[in-house]
Amino acid sequence: MTDPEDLDRWRALRKTVVRIGPHPFLRAKVGDMRRFEADTGLRLPRGYRGFIRTFGAGGLGGSGGYCRVWTLSGVAWAMKVYDFQDILGRKSEQLARLVYFADSFLGHAFFWDPGEVTDPNGPEYAIYCLSHGDLDVDCIAIDFYSFITSVCLDAEGYCRALKYSEVTIGPDRVFEPYPVPAPQKRKTQTR
């Protein structure tokens, strides 16, 4: 039988990452993923499925270069609330279909693009980043596993993807399990 979430690869990676924090692993169940897919009409990327079954939601990276991967409920909430065409002030087919699934403590937003399938057997989708203070959405990984290993857990890859001119964070490889809710929309202040 094939492993649809590539769990062996994720389990091997988990052995190379130091778990920190007081929270238990909050792994997703197959039934939760099926309900999410039925409710949203979106087939989750194979890599994300394997990640949330092996690691669960939480933050990973190190020394300030932290990516926070959300729970299924956080992703579903963001799909209903965020319209990046309105946020960025321009219309495009790509902005309309981006799925917001993670962020960083520094204000970066990470998305799948279900319209840019990089592996139809997974499926896997290209991953994009909206860097804090930027209006461009840039492709930073060809699949979820590459996002985790080459961006979240690689200091140089993290800095390159987020357009930092030099590596300013350490090479820590940590994972902190905790329920990461989707970020709340900021209220606009009126004067």
User: CA-CA distance, 178 to 166, in Å (whole number)?
Assistant: 30
Whole-prediction pTM? 0.81
Q: Where are the domains of the chain?
A: 7-177
pLDDT of residue 90: 63
pLDDT of residue 144: 92
- State in Å, rounded, how far the first CA of the chain is from the last one: 62
pLDDT of residue 118: 95
pLDDT of residue 67: 77
Query: pLDDT tens across 48-87, in order?
Result: 999 999 988 888 876 545 677 887 877 877 777 666 655 5
**What DSSP line would sit under 107-127, residue for residue?**
S-EEEEEEEEEEETTTTEEEE
Report the top-level CATH class of 7-177: alpha beta
pLDDT values of the chain reduced to their tens digit, one per residue, 191 residues = 346 668 899 999 888 888 877 777 888 899 999 999 999 899 999 999 999 999 888 888 765 456 778 878 778 777 776 666 555 566 677 777 888 888 887 778 888 999 999 999 889 999 998 876 666 788 889 999 998 888 888 766 766 666 665 655 555 677 878 765 545 554 444 44
Phi first, then psi: give them for residue 186, nearest 5 degrees.
-80, 140
In terms of Cα–Cα distance, which of 75, 60, 54 is closest to 17?
A: 60
Helix then strand then coil, in percent of the chain rounded to 5, is 35, 25, 40
pLDDT of residue 187: 47
